[in-house]
């Protein structure tokens, strides 16, 4: 990733409590910077983005914080241009922003449905539309989705639908970028121990109580590793792919957690 210039949308972290694990966006920003990339960290919370940047700079990396709420169309379409001005060019885009209200089907309203999809689906579309014309030939895009796109077990249909929509958007992006050798791929995150995952576990205590792949949840660093691979030249012939990073969860692979 040396000399790559990457925009990570959703690169902050919603929870900063002591003992909280790192989230997917922050882990991705840090992992890319450690591999030599220059990173623009965009988040709806400027404070969260600045905290990520501070961690990168403390390790000698280069990064910039940008405030943007991709639920707002004007803000979603402005991020890529801002990133180009800050870094000089744009070689990579990671779309990690996502929200959930965990409403079961009977409780979903028109407004609650729109609130989720405006961030998790429409916001990603607007970011891509703005970024593609600015991206360098040979650049790469990675969408961060979830196995919730495939499994209804969370009883969270708005979130599940929003994540499923990213698969179609990823394929459309890969088709659109192909003439300029711009690739687009998608990571399907499994049960990952992140602040958002812990909040979901608090609302649904049985979320990670059963058999899990390798007897544990995944970590945000494992998501970040997959994202870094898909952005890199090592994945130069991988395009329009949905890569599960779930330890085999969707195939029913699991074992009980180790006994404390």
Distance CA 75, CA 66 (A): 10
Distance CA 43, CA 52 (A): 10
The pLDDT tens digits for 199-214 are 766 666 666 667 899 9
Q: What is the mean pLDDT of residues 42-52?
A: 96
For the chain, percent of residues with pLDDT exceeding 90: 85
The pLDDT tens digits for 98-154 are 999 999 999 999 999 999 999 999 999 999 999 999 999 999 999 999 999 999 988
Residue 260 has pLDDT above 80, yes or no: no
Output the six-digit token pair for 169.
């958007």
In the set 159, 185, 192, 195, the catalytic residue is: 159
Residue 138 Rama label (left phi>0; alpha psi -120 to 50; beta): left
The answer to whether 237 is a known catalytic residue is no
The pLDDT tens digits for 21-42 are 899 999 999 999 999 999 999 9
Supply the pLDDT for residue 259: 73
Q: What's this model's pTM, rounded to 2 decimal places?
A: 0.94
Query: How many other C-beta atoms can be found within 10 angstroms of the C-beta atom of residue 64?
Result: 20
The pLDDT tens digits for 242-254 are 999 999 999 999 9
Domains of the chain, first to last: 5-246 (3.40.50.720)
Supply the pLDDT for residue 18: 65
């Amino acid at each position: 990733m040396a000399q790559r210039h990457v925009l990570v949308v959703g690169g902050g972290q919603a929870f900063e409590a002591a003992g909280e694990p790192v989230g997917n966006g922050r882990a991705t920003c840090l992992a890319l910077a450690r591999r030599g990339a220059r990173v623009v960290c965009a988040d709806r919370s400027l404070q969260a983005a600045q905290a990520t940047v501070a961690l990168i700079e403390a390790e000698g990396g280069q990064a910039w914080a940008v405030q943007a709420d991709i639920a707002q169309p004007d803000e979603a379409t402005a991020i890529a241009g801002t990133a180009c001005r800050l870094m000089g060019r744009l070689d990579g885009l990671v779309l990690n922003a996502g929200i959930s209200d965990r409403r079961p089907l009977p409780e979903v309203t028109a407004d609650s449905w729109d609130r989720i999809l405006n961030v998790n689906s429409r916001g990603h579309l607007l970011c891509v539309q703005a970024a593609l014309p600015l991206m360098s030939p040979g650049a790469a895009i990675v969408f961060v989705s979830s196995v919730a796109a495939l499994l209804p077990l969370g009883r969270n249909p708005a979130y599940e639908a929003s994540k499923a929509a990213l698969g179609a958007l990823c394929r459309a992006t890969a088709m659109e970028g192909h003439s300029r050798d711009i690739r687009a791929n998608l990571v399907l995150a499994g049960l990952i121990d992140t602040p958002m995952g812990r909040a979901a576990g608090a609302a649904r205590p049985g979320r990670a109580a059963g058999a899990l792949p390798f007897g544990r949840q995944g970590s945000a660093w494992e998501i970040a590793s997959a994202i870094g691979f898909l952005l890199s030249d090592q994945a130069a012939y991988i395009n329009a792919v949905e890569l599960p990073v779930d330890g085999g969860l969707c195939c029913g692979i699991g074992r009980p957690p180790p006994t404390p």
